[in-house]
Amino acid sequence: ETGVTQTPRHLVMGMTNKKSLKCEQHLGHNAMYWYKQSAKKPLELMFVYNFKEQTENNSVPSRFSPECPNSSHLFLHLHTLQPEDSALYLCASSQDQTGGGRAYGYTFGSGTRLTVV
Amino acid sequence: AQSVTQLGSHVSVSEGALVLLRCNYSSSVPPYLFWYVQYPNQGLQLLLKYTSAATLVKGINGFEAEFKKSETSFHLTKPSAHMSDAAEYFCAVSDVSDKVIFGPGTSLSVIP
């Protein structure tokens, strides 16, 4: 148990489907992150939320839509994805995004393995 | 701009041998430095971190890393490799910009 729970663990979806990834943490953290991990590529930061406000969007295509209803929950809504979007999607949390918060490091979930067919 | 390089995308060691995974960073200010480990089909787990206290940092599972400012390095070591150490290892750096940059990762194989 890592403290950050991601569901589902595996997801297969067609290019016309709509699905959502869920991330939940009860660590009292105030910053949450979505990362994409593709084979043979470095970790790609997608979105950052700090105290429920989106603070970063790293030029992510609009077919990925994040939602952060509170500091404990983070969603990634997916629609009309492409096969190249197949990857491991990792959620992480930290105390906060700034100052001392970044010194504590991140707690990651186990990820959602997404396959787009 | 800060960056992280990890020399060697793949490292193989024999069981019981020394593990040395290299990490070099660039940062305009004293950084915070981290090592994470990722086991197959899992997320990343924090192994250890340097936050401007002792330069030799001890982490979980017998790993340690030494911050060397003059060499801008933060190499990860373990005296004796175990089969269970086989995983992907990521070095990361964070500075006052609040961005955390991850290195490309080093895959460690342990040969029985």
Per-residue confidence (pLDDT) for residue A111, from 0 to 100: 96
Per-residue confidence (pLDDT) for residue A95, from 0 to 100: 87
Contact across the interface for B51 and A2, Cβ inside 8 Å: no
Spans of chain A below 50 pLDDT = 1
Phi/psi at B102 (5° precision): -95, 145
Question: Is B98 an 8 Å CB contact of chain A?
Answer: yes
The answer to whether residue B99 scores a pLDDT higher than 90 is no
Helix H or strand E encompassing A101: helix A100-103
Chain B residue whose CA is closest to A97: B98
**B66/A73 Cα distance (integer angstroms):** 36
Query: In a 3-state reduction of DSSP, which class is residue B63?
Result: coil
Give counts: helices (H), strands (E), chain B: 0, 12
Per-residue confidence (pLDDT) for residue B30, from 0 to 100: 72
Report the residue from B36, B98, B103 with minimal CB separation from A97: B98
Per-residue confidence (pLDDT) for residue A104, from 0 to 100: 81
Query: What's the farthest any 2 CA atoms get from each other in chain B?
Result: 43
**A115/A17 Cα distance (integer angstroms):** 12
Tokens 């400012």 sit on residue? B69
Contact by Cβ (8 Å): B4, B76: no
- Name every chain B residue with its beta carbon within 8 A of the beta carbon of A97: 98
Contact by Cβ (8 Å): A51, A62: no
Torsion angle (degrees, nearest 10) of CA B77, B80, B81, B84: -110
Reported as a single tens digit per residue, the pLDDT across A19-39 is 999 999 999 999 999 999 998
Contact by Cβ (8 Å): B15, B112: yes
Per-residue confidence (pLDDT) for residue A89, from 0 to 100: 97
In whole numbers, what is the pLDDT of chain B averaged over residues?
92
Per-residue confidence (pLDDT) for residue A100, from 0 to 100: 60
Contact across the interface for B102 and A43, Cβ inside 8 Å: yes
- Other Cβ atoms less than 10 A from the Cβ of B31: the count is 24
In Å, how far is A65's CA from the nearest CA of chain B? Answer: 21
Contact by Cβ (8 Å): A112, A11: yes
**B42/A1 Cα distance (integer angstroms):** 11
Contact by Cβ (8 Å): A23, A46: no
The answer to whether residue B11 scores a pLDDT higher than 70 is yes
Report the residue of B88, B95, B98, B101 to disrupt the A interface, i.e. the one with the largest count of A CBs within 10 Å. B98
Contact across the interface for A102 and B45, Cβ inside 8 Å: no
Reported as a single tens digit per residue, the pLDDT across B49-83 is 998 778 899 999 999 999 998 999 999 999 999 99
Contact by Cβ (8 Å): B49, B57: yes
Report the residue from B43, B46, B105 with minimal CB separation from A90: B43
| B31-39: average pLDDT | 93
Helix H or strand E encompassing A103: helix A100-103
Contact across the interface for A108 and B32, Cβ inside 8 Å: no
